[in-house]
Structures are given as structure tokens and as C-alpha cells.
């Protein structure tokens, strides 16, 4: 079962970058299949830039793009924006209180009933 378009990749990426910034790492890097446009867009939106094209990285004819991310928040406004948005979402979830999952596996807000049964 594929899990796509639920924000898991963005969450994991931003969480990893947050940890790297906290550890005072200077940069992060990755390789991505040049045909994986959704992933490339995610990385670019998170502050990564294309650094190199690597021919035949995965196998003959299947190339990669090397991408790097400067973890200096003053020099990387995209990353700063993503980290601030991540913190806001985390704070909102904490303020909402407990959540429960619906059948699709997504969180939904738990609401207290007004006393009347809901059908």
C-alpha cells in the first residue's frame, strides 16, 4: 500500500533538518532520481538547491541530482520558513489536545459532546 500526498515525507524531511540545525551542522545533502519531480519540488521548497547531475547513479541511463541545503537560517529563508511553519503546526496540535485517527489513518480533532447524542 502506497502512502502518498499525506505530508509524511515533508514532516520527516523538516524534522531531520530541524535536528541538523539544532546540532549546528553546516549543510545537508541528498541524491534524488532526476525523474522524481514531486521529491525535487519538496526539496527545493525546503531550501535545497541543485548541486550536480550524476550520470548513471542508480544504473545505466538512470541519473541522479545531488542537492544541498545550507543550514544557516540567515542564509536560507526557505528553510527558515519551513521550520517556522513546522513549529506552528506542532504548537497547534499540542493546543488542540488529544486526537484520534479516522479510518484513513489521518488525525481528526476530538470534540466533546454537548450532552446530546450525535447520530
| pLDDT on residue 104 | 53
Q: Report d(CA 41, CA 5) in Å as an integer.
A: 13
Whether the model clears a pTM of 0.85, i.e. scores above it, the answer is no
Q: Which fold does the domain 29-90 belong to in CATH? A: Aminopeptidase (3.40.630)
At 13-33, the pLDDT tens digits run: 999 999 999 999 999 999 999
Among 10-19, 23-32, 96-105, 106-115, where is mean pLDDT lowest?
106-115
Amino acid at each position: 500500500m502506497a502512502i502518498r500526498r499525506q505530508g509524511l515525507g515533508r514532516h520527516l524531511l523538516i524534522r531531520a533538518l530541524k535536528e541538523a540545525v539544532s546540532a549546528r551542522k553546516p549543510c545537508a545533502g541528498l541524491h534524488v532520481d532526476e525523474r522524481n519531480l514531486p521529491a525535487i519540488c519538496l526539496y527545493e521548497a525546503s531550501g535545497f538547491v541543485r548541486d550536480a547531475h550524476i550520470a548513471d547513479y542508480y544504473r545505466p541511463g538512470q541519473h541522479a541530482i545531488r542537492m544541498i541545503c545550507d543550514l544557516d537560517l540567515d542564509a536560507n529563508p526557505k528553510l527558515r520558513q519551513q521550520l517556522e511553519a513546522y513549529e506552528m503546526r506542532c504548537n497547534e496540535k499540542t493546543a488542540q489536545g488529544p486526537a484520534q485517527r479516522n479510518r484513513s489513518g489521518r488525525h481528526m480533532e476530538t470534540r466533546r459532546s454537548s450532552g446530546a447524542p450525535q447520530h
